[in-house]
C-alpha cells in the first residue's frame, strides 16, 4: 500500500479552507445578530416547534435543508477549485 501524500495534502488543505470559511461565516453572522445567535437558525417557515408546559421540542426541517444546500454549493465550488 503506497501513500499518496499529494492527495492527503489536498484533503488537509480542503478541510482547513472549509473550516475557515465556515468559522468566518459564523463569526460574521454572530456579530450581526444582537444577541450573538444566528437570527434565522431554527425559525424558518417549515421548522416545527412544539411547546407545552415543562416540555419543548424543535425540529428544524427547513433550516436543515437550507444549511445542507449552502454546504453543498460551497463544497462543490471548493472541489472544482482544487481539481484545476
pLDDT tens figures, 25-71:
878 777 776 666 667 777 889 899 999 999 999 898 998 999 899 88
Domain count, the chain: 1
Supply the pLDDT for residue 29.
73
What residue numbers bound the domain in which 61 lies? 5-83
pLDDT band of 73, cuts 50, 70, 90: very high
Supply the pLDDT for residue 41.
72
**Statement: residue 82 has pLDDT above 80:** no
- Backbone conformation region of residue 43, classed left if phi is above 0, alpha if psi is from -120 to 50, else beta: alpha
Supply the pLDDT for residue 34.
65
**Residues for the chain: how many in total?**
84
Amino acid at each position: 500500500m503506497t501513500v499518496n501524500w499529494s492527495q492527503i495534502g489536498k484533503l488537509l488543505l480542503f478541510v482547513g479552507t472549509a473550516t475557515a470559511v465556515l468559522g468566518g461565516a459564523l463569526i460574521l453572522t454572530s456579530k450581526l445578530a444582537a444577541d450573538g445567535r444566528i437570527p434565522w437558525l431554527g425559525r424558518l417557515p417549515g421548522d416545527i416547534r412544539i411547546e407545552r408546559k415543562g416540555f419543548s421540542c424543535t425540529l428544524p426541517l427547513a433550516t436543515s435543508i437550507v444549511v445542507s444546500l449552502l454546504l453543498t454549493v460551497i463544497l462543490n465550488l471548493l472541489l472544482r477549485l482544487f481539481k484545476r
